[in-house]
Amino acid sequence: MDAIALPDREIADRRDPGGADHHKGAVAHEAARRRTFAVISHPDAGKSTLTEALALHARAIGEAGAVHGKGNRRGVVSDWMEMEKDRGISITSAVLQFAYDGTVVNLLDTPGHADFSEDTYRVLAAVDAAVMLVDAAKGIEPQTFKLFEVCRARGVPVITVVNKWDRPGLDALAIMDELTTRIDLHPMPLTWPVGVAGDFHGVLDSATGEFVQFTRTPGGATEAITTRMSSDEAEQLLGSTWTDAVEEFDLLRSSGHDYDHELFLSGAASPVLFGSAVLNFGVRQLLDTLVALAPAPGARPDRTGAPRAVAAPFSGFVFKIQAGMDRAHRDRLAFVRVCSGRFSRGMVVTHADTGRPFTTKYAQSVFGRDRSTVEEAFPGDVIGLVNANALRVGDTLYADEKVAFPRIPLFAPEHFAVARAAVTGKQKQFRRGIEQLGEEGVVQVLHSDRRGAQAPVLAAVGPMQFDVAQHRMEHEFGSAIRLEPLGYSVARAVTAAAMPIVDSRPGAETLTRADGLHLAVFVDKWRLASVEKDLPVGSLTPIFG
């Protein structure tokens, strides 16, 4: 079936004339139509290219390049941040919603660089599945492994895509062995490459045994041409290239690599597909797999561990806050994952932590950096709440039945720098910008009486976060900053009683994060060990990550 378009990327309004039971049934039906997933990978594995290829095949865009601004086309995802264009990497996550084959797809694009792991982790808290992209030439890379471990810890099932098969690379069986031995993930190929890496003709479809031949289009800007043919026809056309592929695939099947849905949902096994995102080879097979196999939104546990059913009254949680997405919109957007019930624009919801009412008049659907008013949304969808200044990452919103979802933990920072306003007369802009960057999670903002309010300490997982903070402070908030690196590399949560002792030791310091958590920072693990032995047991505890 061809992809279908959502009018103005909104879902048609469906009023509920039949009472509570009908309403719950309608919500459950809409939730079953949703597929919400993230794409994860090591940098340069082709994640952004795959994101745009998926949107192309769903006919959400007309040609490749329209997502990321390639080929002189206006981008809708990551060209709004100058640093992303200059460095050619994804710095922040983005959301694209589109319809495909009767299913509403919510695709959350994530940064690949390790320095932005926290942003990716927040996204992984908001999805029901993940697509793990593996570079055919490099196999499982460190950041891929790290993000997969996050998926495993969160119980997020993973579909594996071996990308760049149009270029020279590893042997297909060797990649299957890597999945098994390096990350303990049982591979279940749904397609198998016909032709070695660098000589890609198409794939063997495991469901039918047919050959799916790919033909590239000029520049790879439009959907690749696919032709299906029987095994006999493929052998006549390709000879030993086809028979070699069949023999390899039969070897895997005889070794117990057939698809098992329960193993996939448990996270112990992964469906595997081969393709080339830049040529749009194998992309439709991935979309079809997501629709057929990826889990729909289900009951989500609250902070007590009790499941919140999708048909329960509205609830959702904030997993991302972003400002400056478009020069035409000088506002701040809170991204909310709908967990249960029907969201209706204008409804009054409750902020779980404060108990205060919150209006949702300015709710939007997001497609990259483009935005449009959204009238309703269902479990699995992502809505953007404009200028929601009272909201923070991890906050829960609900209607009628109280619920609070687990907080999204912050990573342990490893890099620290004192921030000062470059121009002393811009203290107001400086304070406002630093506060907002902390609320968005661009950096963690730490304070201490020793340093004072005019010299906060910025803490980051990776040093590139500091570059983003400096760029945004100058260009968005009009207050350039100077950063003075600190020599700390290890952080632990510390009790208030132990803070004076830590502060008295050289090579150590205590600071307080904006959320109230006290941190002790040390120049290295040896200084940590030296101080810890003089503290009461339990004074220092690891921070998430």
Q: Which residues are annotated as a binding site for GTP?
A: 109-113
Q: Are strands 518-522 and 508-513 parallel, antiparallel or unpaired?
A: antiparallel
Single-letter residue type at 2:
D
Task: Kindly tell me the burial class for residue 79, based on how many C-beta atoms sit within 10 Å of its own C-beta (0-12, 13-18, 19 or more).
Answer: middle
CA 408, CA 410: separation in Å to the nearest integer? 7
DSSP state for residue 78 in the 8-state scheme: S
Residue 516, sorted as left (phi over 0), alpha (psi -120 to 50) or beta, turns out to be: left
Task: Classify strands 415-421 and 158-163 as parallel, antiparallel or unpaired.
Answer: unpaired
How much helix, strand and coil, in percent to the nearest 5, is found in the chain? 30, 30, 40
Widest Cα–Cα separation across the chain: 79
The 3-state DSSP class for residue 215 equals strand
Find the length of the chain: 545
Query: Which residues line the annotated binding site?
Result: 109-113
User: How far apart (Å, rounded) are the C-alpha atoms in residues 252 and 274?
Assistant: 15
* DSSP reduced 3-state for 117: helix
The candidate with the shortest Cα–Cα distance to 163, out of 213, 190, 200, is 200
Tokens of 501: 């002792």
The amino acid at 54: L
Q: Could you tell me the two tokens for 411?
A: 């990573």
- The runs of H, that is alpha helices, within 267-397 are 283-293
Q: What is the sign of the dihedral through the CA atoms of 522, 524, 525 and 531?
A: negative
Amino acid at 495: T
Alpha helices by DSSP H, listed for 163-295, are 172-182, 231-238, 240-254, 261-266, 283-293
Three-state secondary structure call for residue 299: coil
**By C-alpha distance, which of 183, 162, 435, 190 is closest to 274?**
162
Q: Which residues share a beta bridge with 377?
A: 343
| Residue 115 and residue 142 in contact, taking contact as beta carbons nearer than 8 Å | no
